[in-house]
Structure 1
Amino acid sequence: MPENRPPPTSSGSLWRTVLKTLCTVGLTALLISLLREGLSLLPWVDRQTGQHIGASVLQVLAADGNASQQQMIAAGLMVLCFLLAIVLVRWGERLLDRRH
């Protein structure tokens, strides 16, 4: 049963929005950094496993040297990281709301 809580004040709502925005931006930057590090590990994974999956992924991302395709792929990956960050922040917000 939901509790009867007073609605948040406008200043509390503003601070919560600012906090969520900062968390989303920070988490997006972290996810992009992790993606870059993960991609740099693909050749090592290929050497360890004897497979060529990592090389195939890097070849697709290289887009045969086509700069505009590379930019589109990079932008798509950034948008994907941003969307994942939004989902994670909303999930975290719901977890925190349940605790209180």
Structure 2
Amino acid sequence: QYKVQSGDTLWDIAKTHQVSVASLKQWNNIKSADTLKTGKTLRIGNLPKNFSEDEAEALQKIGYRVQNGDSLSVIAERYNVNVADIREWNNLSSNNAVIKTGQQLTLFISES
């Protein structure tokens, strides 16, 4: 999550968090005509749909670089998350779920 500061733009926030403006808009239901209000909390990244806001706040967003021999199921087991969630967070459909060594993935893991 990110709290909008005075002078922030969607472009600046997206660049800082290494996401696209389009994704930022989608995650937060922002339309092109909407204005960005100081103090508004933005979601950065997709979270599992079955999580409440409180549960979502207990998650930590991490970047994971795919290692030789990794698969989505190996990564999911290592971080105690679902393969389907990894696909969703990284816009991987079941058709293009092949991952490559060195590829950067976003994961949301429990902080506890």
Q: Please report the TM-score for the alignment, with normalisation by the length of structure 1.
A: 0.20
Structure ranking higher in strand proportion: 2
Choose between structure 1 and 2 for higher RCO, CA contacts under 8 A separated by at least 6 residues: 1
Q: Please report the TM-score for the alignment, with normalisation by the length of structure 2.
A: 0.19
